[in-house]
Chain A
């Protein structure tokens, strides 16, 4: 999640403390605390499953990139995809998992660009797999109050 949860929680802590001051207008205090409560609820929902979600997502993306490496149309892309696909989780810190996730997503964009320019069946099949992988990832990240 961006901004990162710890960063936002630190800001909310300061904000809650500031709203304890008696001179804050009641309507402003109500608005700030209501919104802070909403964000705390979202953070609570995200927190428990965040690491597992990122590990699963990264594993799925690496699988797609490995398939992509086998059909990539240029050697440079094949090499880049192989490098991304062969990596693992060096750390289970959320920041490290998120950083790896960003690299993998960038790799998927490069792979999609390559596949969309082609008509051969393996490319078309993998293109559909990539969209399915992206849909699975988005569904896995869906919050309980998500509008979609």
Chain B
């Protein structure tokens, strides 16, 4: 769809959702590059209301032809909506459309939280370098708050598939091993060995069934130069599960970005202390090791899916090649490190 057509159709759609508004117009639209699983656009909505001209920055997240991560956009939308107004900062969700009539594929529209950075590009340079420890403490404190939250009270227990503390590890491992089976284009002895180890050494039952963000890593939030976080993003893999799953994912070696500390931010002990203080839970070392290795399996499943999607030809976005080239070997190294073979 050409951008001019997207602007026109999006404007028509939003006008239908704002019966009190006149002269609704989508302006200043620009694609935000980097998303491999959703197409993301920033735009300004302009309209007249009771004779007053209004403007608001918004974000459009639309499914591409073939997404890297196969998820329901309702999950992402409801997760954002559940945490809006809590201590976990997220943008306000405005509209969700699950059909393809309006824009050709499912999408949602959210408020834009403007003025902050996302991604890791600027983080390792001034003026952010001095604030990395503070950013790290905030990052793992918020993750602890997500773990501490009650899924039922948030309304998410009614939206996300139920699970049980004793079996949640098996459900997750089965799922991501299935993704590997379906998408692997060459044999992966390191990750297959990791899977066998995980099955032979299951973790203890989860301390609770919690909301799991699913992709909680440095870069998936909006941050400032003082170590503040203003929006947790990318909830598309949100589910109910073991709260150690998010902690393990945040410690996945590939998310250290070649730097010394987890997430490239904070010594491991300090990160764990921040998470335990905020969550009221404990990160038992052997259980956490299980979820860290699981994170390597999950990561590899996503990276090989990326390669497979590109090879199948339905989506030839070059962003699908990057994880295949840059992360598959790195993820093997990460798994070897967690298993003590490096």
Question: Is the A/B pair a real complex?
Answer: yes
Determine how close the nearest CB of chain A comes to the CB of B92; give it in whole angstroms: 24
Q: Contact string, A17-58, partner B, CB cutoff 8 A, digits 1/0?
A: 000000001011011101110110011001000000000000
Q: Contact string, A56-100, partner B, CB cutoff 8 A, digits 1/0?
A: 000000000000000000000000000000000000000000100
- The segment from B11-19, B56-64, B75-83, B181-189 that touches chain A is B181-189
Cβ of B190 under 8 Å from chain A = yes
Q: Contact check, B258 vs A145: say whether CB atoms are below 8 A apart.
A: yes
Total number of A residues with any Cβ neighbor in B under 8 Å: 45
Determine how close the nearest CB of chain B comes to the CB of A129; give it in whole angstroms: 11
Q: Contact check, B189 vs A108: say whether CB atoms are below 8 A apart.
A: yes
Q: Contact string, B283-316, partner A, CB cutoff 8 A, digits 1/0?
A: 0000000000000000000000001001100001
Q: CB-nearest residue of chain B relative to A140?
A: B329
Chain A interface, >50% SS class: helix
Hey, which chain B residues are within 8 Å of A125, CB to CB? none
Hey, which chain A residues are within 8 Å of B193, CB to CB? 109, 112, 131, 134
Cβ of B31 under 8 Å from chain A = yes
Determine how close the nearest CB of chain B comes to the CB of A34; give it in whole angstroms: 7
A32 vs B3: C-alpha distance when bound (angstroms) = 15
Q: Contact check, A105 vs B257: say whether CB atoms are below 8 A apart.
A: no
Q: Contact check, A139 vs B33: say whether CB atoms are below 8 A apart.
A: no
Hey, which chain A residues are within 8 Å of B307, CB to CB? 2-3
Cβ of A132 under 8 Å from chain B = yes
Hey, which chain B residues are within 8 Å of A11, CB to CB? 316, 318
Q: Contact check, A109 vs B192: say whether CB atoms are below 8 A apart.
A: yes
Which of B31, B257, B318, B324 makes the CB contact (< 8 A) with A36?
B318
Total number of B residues with any Cβ neighbor in A under 8 Å: 44
A146 vs B328: C-alpha distance when bound (angstroms) = 10
Q: Contact check, A106 vs B187: say whether CB atoms are below 8 A apart.
A: yes
Q: Contact string, A115-141, partner B, CB cutoff 8 A, digits 1/0?
A: 010000000000000111011001101
Which of B319, B328, B333 makes the CB contact (< 8 A) with A139?
B333
Given A116-B196, A135-B342, answer yes or no on A146-B333 (Cβ-Cβ < 8 Å). Answer: yes
A142 vs B341: C-alpha distance when bound (angstroms) = 16
Hey, which chain B residues are within 8 Å of A27, CB to CB? 30-31, 33
Q: Contact check, A148 vs B324: say whether CB atoms are below 8 A apart.
A: no
Hey, which chain A residues are within 8 Å of B253, CB to CB? 147-148
Q: Contact check, A138 vs B190: say whether CB atoms are below 8 A apart.
A: yes
Given A11-B316, A35-B319, answer yes or no on A148-B333 (Cβ-Cβ < 8 Å). Answer: yes
Q: Contact check, B329 vs A143: say whether CB atoms are below 8 A apart.
A: yes
Hey, which chain A residues are within 8 Å of B326, CB to CB? 42, 143, 145-147
Given A2-B307, A134-B189, answer yes or no on A147-B257 (Cβ-Cβ < 8 Å). Answer: yes
Q: Contact check, B30 vs A42: say whether CB atoms are below 8 A apart.
A: no
Determine how close the nearest CB of chain A comes to the CB of B104; give it in whole angstroms: 17
Cβ of B337 under 8 Å from chain A = yes
A134 vs B190: C-alpha distance when bound (angstroms) = 7
A135 vs B190: C-alpha distance when bound (angstroms) = 9
Cβ of B91 under 8 Å from chain A = no
A8 vs B3: C-alpha distance when bound (angstroms) = 26
Q: Contact check, B322 vs A147: say whether CB atoms are below 8 A apart.
A: no
List the 7 shortest-distance A-B pairs measured between CB atoms, nearest first. Answer: A31-B33, A105-B187, A148-B333, A106-B187, A27-B30, A131-B341, A148-B330
Name 17 interchain pairs, CB-CB below 8 A, sorted by A: A2-B186, A2-B311, A3-B307, A25-B30, A28-B33, A31-B34, A32-B33, A32-B318, A35-B319, A43-B325, A101-B186, A134-B341, A138-B190, A143-B326, A143-B329, A147-B255, A147-B330
* B interface list, Cβ under 8 A from A: 3, 30-31, 33-34, 185-190, 192-193, 196, 253-258, 307, 310-311, 316, 318-319, 321-322, 324-334, 336-337, 339, 341-342
Task: Known A-B contacts: A30-B33, A145-B258. Give 14 more (CB < 8 A).
Answer: A1-B325, A11-B316, A28-B3, A28-B33, A39-B318, A102-B187, A106-B187, A135-B341, A141-B329, A143-B325, A146-B258, A147-B327, A148-B256, A148-B334
